[in-house]
Amino acid sequence: MKIGFIGLGIMGSPMSVHLQNAGYQVAGYDIVPEAGASLVAAGGTRATSIAQAVQGAEVVALMVPDSPHVEAVLTGAGGVLQHAAPGTLVIDFSSIRPDVTARLAEQVKAAGLRIIDAPVSGGEPGAIAATLSIMVGGEADDVALAQPILDVVGGTIVRVGPNGAGQTVKAANQLIVAANIEALSEAVVFLEAYGVDLEAALKVLGGGLAGSAVLNQKAGKILAREFGPGFKIDLHHKDMGIVTSAARNAGVVIPVGALMAELVASARANGDGALDHSALYRGVLRLSGKKL
């Protein structure tokens, strides 16, 4: 089976490599040509356009940053709908607005293609280890068709409803993750103020009710003050905009989410947008008048 993979960044690159290594024939495209180096090294093909990537493909996978990018890739000039064959399955791994996903799904289906939204959680480590959590929205038959591909890149894969449902669950995921990172960051600054052995403290906290995947994955980056991006604050800023907007549209109140949206925006405004979201710790230091 041939897969056209659009978007070979931090997440898309290792995902495309896993698919190539699993026996699929992957043609990858990215606006940054050198982004396809890992895929080519694994035996895949670097396409020079979306049209070339999707030519002959039975499946087209997307992993791009935001709603406008997905819309352009699918419906824009030279996009997937112009060049993919009828019956092609589109798997959108991107994290975008649920309402945009639902609208695009209607357009894709009207063009004779199939589509599921399959946003992921786990960041770069999860993409590299192929242990991503994948929240899937779409028709049950389409999800079943995609299952072998999802199994290659994910560890926990759950259909959560129709098109758009995957994006809704991903928005909730990003709210929980942001709040957890902020709580961990505040706890570390608090412990530092009292001169506590941080490694010992986080070890015992991780063994109790305060333990979490966030603590396991992000505490080390905070302690080392090493914030190379596994998931950029810029992207989490986008995601907090999605969840706060969707909550407002649904008429529900998420006060912690609103606060987190402001704290993430502040981190971005202070120049931390390209850093890992664990760099929310730096925002706690700034608010506390501490040295970065």
What are φ and ψ of residue 37, in 5° steps? -60, -45
d(CA 110, CA 98): 19
Closest to 8 (Cα-Cα) out of 24, 26, 28:
28
Structure tokens at 219: 């505490």
**Contacting residues for 62 by C-beta, under 8 A, at least 6 apart:** 6, 7, 70, 73, 74, 90, 91, 92, 93, 94
Beta bridge partners of 133: 121, 156
d(CA 55, CA 280): 42
Beta bridge partners of 90: 60, 115
- Rounded to 10 degrees, the C-alpha dihedral 184/185/187/189 comes to 160
Sole residue written with tokens 């064959």? 85
d(CA 60, CA 27): 10
**Three-state secondary-structure class, residue 40:** helix
Angle 99-97-142 from CA coordinates, rounded to 5°: 70
Catalytic residue among 2, 170, 221, 290: 170
Closest to 79 (Cα-Cα) out of 93, 87, 91, 69:
69
Active site residue 170: yes
**Contacting residues for 269 by C-beta, under 8 A, at least 6 apart:** none
Structure tokens at 282: 């730096």
Catalytic machinery residues: 170
